[in-house]
Amino acid sequence: MNKLLIRGGVRLAGEVSISGAKNAALPIMCAALLSTAPLRLANVPHLRDVTTLLSLLGGMGVAVSLDAKLGLELDAGKLHTPVAPYELVRTMRASILVLGPLLARCGEARVSLPGGCAIGQRPVDLHIKGLQAMGADIHVEHGYIIARAKRLKGARIFTDLVTVTGTENLMMAACLAEGTSVIENAAREPEVVDLANCLKAMGAKIEGAGSDTITIEGVSALSGAAHRIMPDRIETGTFLVAAAATGGSVRLRNTSSGILEAVLDKLREAGARITVESDSIALEMDGTPQSVSLRTAPYPAFPTDMQAQFMALDCIARGTAVLTETIFENRFMHALELQRLGANIEISGNTAVVKGAAKLDGASVMATDLRASASLVIAGLVATGETVVERIYHLDRGYECIEEKLSQLGARIKRIG
């Protein structure tokens, strides 16, 4: 079943629970490779990307088990094959996150180059450069990264760009390096902090996670640990935007406001009333939202992973919005599909000008990437008539049971075809 049928026009109302963060779970699962003792994880989201990574880790010899409460245990004690094959890596670029841990744990790694994806070329040169600075011998052969290092050495690394998984790969590798490493211009995303917290629970010595300078003092080995994955701030933001776009009133449980302040600010600018408690966020929107302009940038600025969702909101808002995408070179493909629903969007380079329309009309549209899919679902929720979103396997990579959760909020949505 690869399509979603949505009958728009319903104001979302009610409560849903937010799942664990995909972009924290993926690096943290890779951190299991660093230890011979089991890593036990709670609140791991049930997503296609997670099951893909479990297959990848299983192929390396990591023992995977689920407990009664769906807690995940990863035991890399008998790790035997430090290889990430193309067949799996091409379906999930975040597989690159095994490179640093394998190199640090086994002294060698053979990882398929991830290749590009719909939103951009997505190179991994900064991952490789950082590991080379730690003394790794790395070359690319037949589409694979071949890396070797007797033992990585601590180094001072300045990443030319702020890279989230680059920072995570280098931080994991540095945990077992000889001596101290300093990563400068590091990514400050909350998922980097969550990974650092898990690594510290395993015995790593890390200071500065969440700032642009992270210092890691290498240790000889890491132990097992238990860690609970942080809430997914992008799922949280997606549901809040859907509620705002439909003029609804929702409460999201098991999440936190401190990890998406830039998104909450934009929603308030659109006219939403937001109340936060320790582990929940409520949003109420009366009538039509006001257009909001935005410019994506590394955390704590507005996240690129929320740009597509806000474009859908701006399509039916009052006024004109200017959205500037500074992180990825091709992250406006949802605009072409939104235009099929009647949206008024002009793209020029990395800028989109969105003139709010009185309404959108349902149509068949095609998902091209994960967050573009979410944008089309939001548009379908507000469009009159029926919208069919095709190729929703993109959506399943990053949203757990999205149609069940939206149905819980009153949406008329079901999986078909």
Interface ranges with ligand EPZ (CB under 6 A): 22-23, 26, 94, 120, 122-127, 161, 163-166, 304-305, 327-328, 370-371, 398
User: Rounded to the nearest whole angstrom, what is the least distance from the CB of residue 356 to ligand EPZ in the complex?
Assistant: 25
User: Rounded to the nearest whole angstrom, what is the least distance from the CB of residue 37 to ligand EPZ in the complex?
Assistant: 25
**Which residue number, 299 or 413, has a Cβ lying nearer to ligand EPZ?**
299
Give the SS3 label for residue 343.
Answer: coil
Look up residue 10 and give its two tokens: 């319903």
Question: Burial of 416 by CB count in 10 Å (0-12 exposed, 13-18 middle, 19+ buried)?
Answer: exposed
Element (H, E) at 365: strand 364-366
Q: What is the DSSP secondary structure assignment for residue 383, as one 8-state letter?
A: S
User: Rounded to the nearest whole angstrom, what is the least distance from the CB of residue 148 to ligand EPZ in the complex?
Assistant: 20
**Which residue number, 208 or 300, has a Cβ lying nearer to ligand EPZ?**
300
The C-alpha angle with vertex 404 and arms to 399 and 406, in degrees rounded to 5, equals: 80
**Which residue number, 214 or 327, has a Cβ lying nearer to ligand EPZ?**
327
User: Rounded to the nearest whole angstrom, what is the least distance from the CB of residue 197 to ligand EPZ in the complex?
Assistant: 16
Give the SS3 label for residue 66.
Answer: strand
Q: Give bridge partners of residue 224 from the DSSP assignment.
A: none
**Which residue number, 44 or 282, has a Cβ lying nearer to ligand EPZ?**
44
**Which residue number, 35 or 95, has a Cβ lying nearer to ligand EPZ?**
95
Count of other CB atoms within 10 angstroms of residue 323: 25
> Catalytic: which of 106, 117, 175, 401?
117
Q: Give bridge partners of residue 346 from the DSSP assignment.
A: 353
Greatest alpha-carbon span in the chain: 63
Give the SS3 label for residue 186.
Answer: coil
User: Rounded to the nearest whole angstrom, what is the least distance from the CB of residue 359 to ligand EPZ in the complex?
Assistant: 28
CB within 8 Å of 252: residues ≥ 6 apart:
15, 16, 17, 18, 236, 239, 240, 280, 281, 282, 283
* Known catalytic residue at 175: no
Q: Which residues are catalytic?
A: 117
